[in-house]
C-alpha cells in the first residue's frame, strides 16, 4: 500500500529552498527530542506549552508537570516524532532515527494499555492521533539501519494493538465528538500502514463506516463541525483530508459523503479565516494560520476558489502529506478570484462580512447559533472586528481546560463582545465541559444591498429571569464596511440592568472621553460612540485574551451599563474612518403627525469622514392603519432603512429590513 509521501529527497530540497524558517524549527525540535527536551509549540499542537520538560535519565511517559493532564495527552501523541522523521529526511543524520527507534521501543515496553497507571495515555483520542503521527514518522525513516527488523516487528505489533483497541470503542459519544473522528482516522491510517491481511481490511472498512456516519451527523449543511470551534473543526477537517489522500493513493473507494462534506469543511474554513489567514479564537480555539487546510482542500478537489483563500504554493506542512509530485500540480492550479464579500453559515449561526479579499480588508464576524457542546463559550451575539491587518474587537480564546477560575473567566459571557442582563451569564457552566443552562438562538436574518449590510439575531438566555424575562436582540448595520452601527434591543416588562462588553486587541491603546471610546494603533484609529434613551455608564476595565493555550495576555475591555423598565435599546457606533458624530432624531408619523415613542421606532444621523447617513430602526410595528415615518427630514417605510445624506437622499432610502 502507498503511504503519504513519495520522494523524500525532493520534499527535503523544496522545504529547505522555500521554507528555511520552518525547516530550521523542525530540526531544532528534533534536536530537543534527541536530548529528551519536550515543548509543544508547533502550529497545530492543540495544547501548547511554554516551559520545556527535560528528562535527565529514563523518560517517564506519564509525567505531569502541573495541574493540567493535557501535558500527558500531548506528550503521548508524539507529534515531535514527525519532526524527528522530517529532520532525518532533510539531513540524513542517523541520530534522529536512532532516537526514534529507542523512544518508540521504550514507550511500547513501558506504557501498557491494561496498566491503570497508564490510563491517561490510552484514551481513544490519543490512540487515534498516535496512529497518524507514528505512521508518518516511521515512513520518513525508511532505509535507516536504525529501523531494524526487531524495531519494525515491535512497531507493527503495537499498531495492531492500537487498531484492535479502537475497533472496540464505538458509542454515541464517539459518533458526535471529534474524538470519534480522530480515533477512527487513526484506525484508517493504521489499516494502510500495516501489512495487508483480511483483518486490516476489516479495520479499513469499519473505519470508513464510522467516519461516514460521524461526518454526516457532526458537520452541518453549511460545512461547520457542530462543536463551534474553528480549531477542532480544522482538526477534524485535517483527518478527513488525510483519509481522502490515502484512499486516492491506493484506489480505495470511500463513501461519497466523506468527499462532499470534507470539501464543505474546507469552504467553511475559507469563510471564517480572517484576512491574515488566522482562524478565529472562537470557543476552544487558538489563533492559528489555518490556510494549510484550505490549501490541501484546493489541491485535492482541484478548486481554484479554495486556492484563492489558501497559499500561493504548497506550504511546509502540506507538502509532507501530499508528496513531491503535488508541487507542480498545485502550481498549475489556477486561482479563482472570490467575489462573495458576505457569507452566512446559517446552520451554525455564523455571519461573515468583509470589504474585500485583500490582507488589509475589513472583516466582521457575528455569532448567533448553538453553543457547540463542551468546546463552546458564552458567545451568543458576539462580534469580531478586524481591519487594516489587525484585530480590533477580539475573542478571548480559551487559555486552559482545567476546571478552575481561569477556565470560566474565558468561557464567561462577559468575556465576549456581547451583552449581559443583570450581570448574569446566558450560559451557565456546570464544570469545564457541561452547562447547566443553555441559550437558544432565534430571529436570525441578514441582508446586503448596495454598500450596506445587515445581520440580526437574538437569544432566549434571559427569558426565565426571576425578576422578569428579557428577550435580547442584536442588529448590526454596516455602511461601506467602515461604519458599523450595533443596535442592542432588550424586550422586557420589568426593570433590569444591561451591560455591553467590548474587548480590544492589546496591540493598540484604548482611551475614554465621556461616552466616546477610541482605539488607536499603528494600523487603526477607531472611534466609538454609544447612545441610549437613558443614562449611560461607561468604564474601562482590565481583561485578558489567550491567543494560545497556556498563554494569557493583558488587554483592555469596555463595559457600558444602562438600566430601564420595559423596552431598552443601546446603540454602539463604530467608525474606522476616525471621529464620528452621532445625533438621535425624533421620529414622527406622517399620517398622524405625532412623535413615535422611542420603544417603537428610533433614528440616528451619523457623520464621519466617509459621509453622513440617517438610519431608522423600528423595534415594533408602527404603521397603523397606513403610515410612513419622518426622521431628520427623511421619509420612508421599513424596519431598518438607511438614507445617504451625502447624496441628498431623503425619500424611501435603502430598506435593509421591511
Give me the torsion for CA of 241, 242, 245, 246, rounded to 10°. -150
Return the closest-CA partner of residue 208 out of 159, 176, 246: 246
Total count of domains within the chain: 3
**405 and 477 co-located in one domain:** yes
- Which CATH number goes with the domain that contains 148? 1.50.10.100
Q: What is the structure's pLDDT at 634?
A: 97
pLDDT tens digits, one per residue of 231-289: 999 999 999 999 999 999 999 999 999 999 999 999 999 999 999 999 999 999 999 99
Contact 347, 337 (CB under 8 A): no
**458 and 514 co-located in one domain:** yes
Contact 584, 463 (CB under 8 A): no
**557 and 653 co-located in one domain:** no
**490 and 365 co-located in one domain:** yes
Please give the C-alpha separations between residue 511 and each of 119, 483, 523, in angstroms, as whole numbers. Answer: 51, 19, 16
**488 and 446 co-located in one domain:** yes
Is 279 within the bounds of a domain? Answer: no
β-strand partners of 554: 544
Q: Among residues 174, 195, 210, which one ends one of the domains?
A: 174
Q: What is the structure's pLDDT at 405?
A: 95
Three-class secondary structure of residue 205 per DSSP? helix
Is 276 within the bounds of a domain? Answer: no
Residue 554 domain boundaries: 342-578
Give me the torsion for CA of 11, 15, 16, 22, rounded to 10°. -150
Phi, psi of 541 (to 5 degrees): -140, 160
Task: Please provide the average confidence, as pLDDT, over all residues in the chain.
Answer: 96
Pairwise CA distance, residues 609 & 590, whole Å: 31
6, with CB counted inside 10 A (0-12, 13-18, 19+), is: middle
Q: Among residues 578, 607, 632, which one ends one of the domains?
A: 578
Contact 355, 274 (CB under 8 A): no
What sign results for the dihedral spanned by CA atoms 366, 369, 370, 372? negative
- Label residue 631 left, alpha or beta by phi (over 0 means left) and psi (-120 to 50 means alpha): beta
Contact 390, 541 (CB under 8 A): no
- Which CATH number goes with the domain that contains 543? 2.70.98.70
Q: Among residues 530, 551, 578, which one ends one of the domains?
A: 578
Is 142 within the bounds of a domain? Answer: yes
Pairwise CA distance, residues 225 & 215, whole Å: 8
**594 and 514 co-located in one domain:** no
Q: What is the structure's pLDDT at 466?
A: 81
Is 595 within the bounds of a domain? Answer: yes
Q: What is the structure's pLDDT at 626?
A: 84
Could you please report the per-residue DSSP string of 27-58?
Answer: HHHHHHHHTTEE---STT-SS--SS-EE-SSS
Strands 428-429 and 53-54: unpaired
Q: What is the structure's pLDDT at 134?
A: 98
**611 and 529 co-located in one domain:** no
**28 and 119 co-located in one domain:** yes
pLDDT along the chain (658 residues), means of 10: 78 95 97 98 94 96 95 97 96 97 98 96 97 96 95 98 97 94 98 97 98 98 96 98 97 97 98 96 97 98 97 96 95 94 96 96 97 93 97 97 96 97 94 93 96 97 90 98 97 95 97 91 96 92 96 97 96 95 95 92 95 97 89 96 96 96
**533 and 599 co-located in one domain:** no
Going by the DSSP 8-state scheme, the letter that residue 8 receives in this structure is H
Return the closest-CA partner of residue 464 out of 441, 488, 443, 439: 439
What is this structure's pTM?
0.95
**635 and 490 co-located in one domain:** no
Is 639 within the bounds of a domain? Answer: yes
Pairwise CA distance, residues 524 & 386, whole Å: 10
Is 280 within the bounds of a domain? Answer: no
Contact 357, 435 (CB under 8 A): no
Is 156 within the bounds of a domain? Answer: yes
Phi, psi of 624 (to 5 degrees): -140, 120
**111 and 127 co-located in one domain:** yes
Is 4 within the bounds of a domain? Answer: yes
Q: What is the structure's pLDDT at 7?
A: 64
**86 and 170 co-located in one domain:** yes
On the CB side of 150, CA atoms within 13 Å amount to 4
Amino acid at each position: 500500500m502507498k503511504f503519504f509521501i513519495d520522494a523524500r529527497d525532493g520534499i527535503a530540497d523544496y522545504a529547505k529552498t522555500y521554507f528555511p524558517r520552518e525547516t530550521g524549527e523542525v530540526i531544532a525540535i528534533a534536536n530537543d527530542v534527541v536530548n529528551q527536551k519536550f515543548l509543544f509549540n508547533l502550529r497545530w499542537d492543540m495544547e501548547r506549552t511554554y516551559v520545556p520538560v527535560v528528562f535527565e535519565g529514563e523518560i517517564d511517559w506519564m509525567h505531569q508537570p502541573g495541574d493540567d493532564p493535557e501535558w500527558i495527552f500531548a506528550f503521548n501523541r508524539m507529534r515531535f516524532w514527525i519532526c524527528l522523521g522530517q529532520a532525518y529526511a532533510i539531513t540524513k543524520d542517523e541520530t534522529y532515527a536512532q532516537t526514534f527507534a529507542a523512544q518508540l521501543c521504550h514507550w511500547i515496553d513501558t506504557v501498557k494499555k491494561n496498566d491503570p497507571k497508564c490510563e491517561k495515555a490510552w484514551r481513544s483520542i490519543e490512540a487515534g492521533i498516535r496512529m497518524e503521527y507514528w505512521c508518518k514518522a516511521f515512513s520518513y525513516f525508511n532505509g535507516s539501519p536504525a529501523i531494524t527488523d526487531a524495531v519494525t516487528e515491535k512497531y507493527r505489533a503495537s499498531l495492531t494493538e492500537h487498531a484492535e483497541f479502537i475497533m472496540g470503542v464505538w458509542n454515541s459519544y464517539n459518533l458526535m465528538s471529534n474524538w470519534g473522528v480522530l480515533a477512527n482516522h487513526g484506525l484508517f491510517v493504521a489499516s494502510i500502514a500495516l501489512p495487508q491481511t483480511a483483518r486490516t481490511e476489516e479495520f479499513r472498512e469499519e473505519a470508513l463506516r464510522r467516519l461516514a456516519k460521524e461526518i454526516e451527523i457532526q458537520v452541518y449543511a453549511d460545512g461547520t463541525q457542530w462543536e463551534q470551534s474553528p480549531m477542532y473543526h480544522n482538526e477534524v477537517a485535517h483527518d478527513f483530508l488525510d483519509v481522502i489522500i490515502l484512499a486516492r493513493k491506493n484506489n480505495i473507494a470511500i463513501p461519497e459523503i466523506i468527499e462532499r462534506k470534507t470539501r464543505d469543511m474546507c469552504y467553511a474554513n475559507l469563510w471564517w479565516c480572517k484576512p491574515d489567514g488566522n482562524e478565529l479564537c472562537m470557543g476552544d480555539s487558538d489563533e492559528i494560520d489555518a490556510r494549510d487546510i484550505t490549501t490541501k482542500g484546493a489541491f485535492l478537489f482541484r478548486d481554484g476558489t479554495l486556492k484563492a483563500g489558501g497559499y500561493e504554493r504548497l506550504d511546509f506542512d502540506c507538502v509532507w502529506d501530499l508528496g513531491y509530485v503535488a508541487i507542480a500540480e498545485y502550481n498549475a492550479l489556477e486561482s479563482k478570484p472570490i467575489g462573495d464579500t458576505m457569507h452566512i453559515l446559517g446552520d451554525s449561526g455564523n455571519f461573515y462580512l468583509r470589504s474585500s479579499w485583500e490582507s488589509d480588508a475589513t472583516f466582521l464576524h457575528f455569532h448567533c447559533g448553538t453553543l457547540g457542546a463542551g468546546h463552546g463559550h458564552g458567545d451568543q451575539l458576539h462580534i469580531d472586528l478586524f481591519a487594516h491587518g489587525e484585530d480590533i474587537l477580539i475573542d478571548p480564546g480559551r487559555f486552559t481546560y482545567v476546571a478552575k477560575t481561569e477556565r470560566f473567566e474565558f468561557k464567561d459571557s462577559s468575556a465576549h463582545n456581547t451583552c449581559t442582563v443583570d450581570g448574569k451569564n446566558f450560559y451557565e457552566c456546570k464544570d469545564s465541559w457541561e452547562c447547566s443552562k443553555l441559550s437558544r438562538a432565534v430571529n436570525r436574518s441578514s441582508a446586503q444591498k448596495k454598500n450596506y449590510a445587515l445581520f440580526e439575531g437574538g437569544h432566549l438566555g434571559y427569558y426565565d429571569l426571576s425578576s422578569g424575562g428579557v428577550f435580547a436582540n442584536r442588529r448590526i448595520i454596516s455602511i461601506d464596511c467602515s461604519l458599523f452601527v450595533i443596535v442592542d434591543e432588550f424586550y422586557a416588562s420589568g426593570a433590569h440592568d444591561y451591560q455591553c462588553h467590548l474587548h480590544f486587541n492589546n496591540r493598540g491603546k484604548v482611551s475614554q472621553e465621556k461616552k466616546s471610546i477610541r482605539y488607536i494603533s499603528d494600523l487603526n484609529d477607531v472611534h466609538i460612540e454609544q447612545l441610549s434613551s437613558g443614562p449611560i455608564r461607561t468604564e474601562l476595565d482590565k481583561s485578558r485574551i489567550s491567543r494560545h493555550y497556556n498563554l494569557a495576555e493583558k488587554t483592555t475591555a469596555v463595559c457600558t451599563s444602562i438600566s430601564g423598565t420595559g423596552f431598552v435599546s443601546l446603540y454602539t457606533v463604530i467608525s474606522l474612518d476616525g471621529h464620528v458624530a452621532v445625533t438621535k432624531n425624533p421620529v414622527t408619523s406622517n399620517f398622524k403627525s405625532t412623535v413615535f415613542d422611542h420603544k417603537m421606532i428610533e433614528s440616528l444621523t451619523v457623520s464621519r469622514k466617509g459621509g453622513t447617513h440617517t438610519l431608522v430602526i423600528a423595534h415594533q410595528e408602527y404603521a397603523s392603519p397606513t403610515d410612513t415615518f419622518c426622521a431628520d427630514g427623511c421619509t420612508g417605510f421599513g424596519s431598518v432603512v438607511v438614507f445617504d445624506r451625502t447624496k441628498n437622499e431623503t425619500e424611501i432610502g435603502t430598506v435593509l429590513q421591511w
